[in-house]
Structure 1
Amino acid sequence: MIRSDDTGKLVLRVALGVLILLHGIAKISGGVGFVSTMLASHGLPGALAYLVYVGEIIAPVLLIIGLYTRPAAWIVVINMLVAVWLVHMKQIGLLNKQGGWELELQGMFFFSALAVAFMGAGRFSIGGSGGRYN
């Protein structure tokens, strides 16, 4: 069995990247109209919705391959904060029927991205562990 911090970083990076990327792929096929509407309801330009592709396509791909990992993770952190602000603010203090937090998925994405932002990519990455942005 391989035991290393780098293996743990790889697992966390790839899991986070793949799971966020799936949301991005859904937005490629379904569009960002919902996000645009939510932004407009908060008085922001709807065109900002296209930034969701950065947070849910580009950043996750960078996380998966391990290139510019720290900036990509910070983008996911920001993406999750905006998603909670736009859509989930009323659920912040609520528990679901099973006793878990209503926002446990968003919380897991947020805190996983935050951990990657602080830890970096590790040596099992294109950028390597010594890269300034990994």
Structure 2
Amino acid sequence: MNQAAMQDFGKLVLRIALGALILLHGISKLKNGLGPIEGMVLARGLPGFLAYGVLAGEVLAPLMLLFGAYARIGAVIVAINMLFAIALVHMGQLGQLNDQGGWALELQGMFLFTALAIALFGPGRYAINQR
């Protein structure tokens, strides 16, 4: 396998991993509703309709990543979603370590920085629109 093919395959692996893992969170929101998210948004003095942005960040954007359809835009949406999640839910853990010595926000950080990498690298050759 040549270098370009390996890079494209690596981009596919990143897209599938991020898209599938974030989509699971979105499916949970679809099943259980957005009430808790809306409560957090309202508690911060923000308009409640912003809670529906989680559907863009955890359902629409992951599907864009999985199919490689405007994957860079999908990745940016996921990154923005993760910034909101960190700000609304996890800000108190920003400088904390977990019981195993890792960063308390390692999962959120991995989602955020993987999304940024996809936004920068693009979706690769194995995508619907390859941009």
Normalised to the residue count of structure 1, the TM-score between the two structures is 0.93
1:110 paired to 2:82 = no
Structure-1 separation of matches of 2:56 and 2:105: 22
> In angstroms, what is the RMSD of aligned CA positions?
1.1
> Unaligned stretches of 5+ in structure 1?
129-133
**Aligned-pair CA distance for 1:77:** 0.5
Distance 2:49 2:78 in 1: 19
The alignment of Structure 1 onto Structure 2 pairs a total of residues equal to 129
- What SS does structure 2 have at the residue aligned with 1:86? helix
Map of 1:89 onto structure 2:
91
Residue of structure 1 aligned with 2:73, choices 63, 71, 92: 71
Q: 2:36 aligns with which of 34, 37, 40?
A: 34
Say if 1:15 and 1:2 are closer, same or farther in 2 by CA, change over 3 A.
farther
Describe the superposition over 1:90-132 as per-residue Cα deviations: whole angstroms up to 9, x where unpaired.
Answer: 000000000011000000000000000000000011112xxxx
- Which amino acid counterpart does residue 117 of structure 1 have in structure 2? A
Letter in 1 for 2:14: L
- The match for 2:102 among 100, 104, 128 is 100
- How far did 1:2 drift? 7.2
Q: What stretches of structure 1 move > 3 A for 4+ residues in a row?
A: none
Counterpart of 1:131 in structure 2 is none
Q: Per-residue deviation at 1:48? A: 1.2
Counting helix residues as a fraction of each chain, which structure ranks higher?
Answer: 2
Q: Partners of 1:12 and 1:2 in 2: how far apart?
A: 19
Aligned equivalents of 1:44, 1:57: Cα separation in 2: 22
Please give the per-residue CA displacement for 1:42-80, whole angstroms capped at 9, x wherever unaligned.
101112101110000000000000010111100000000
TM-score between the two structures when normalised by the length of structure 2:
0.95
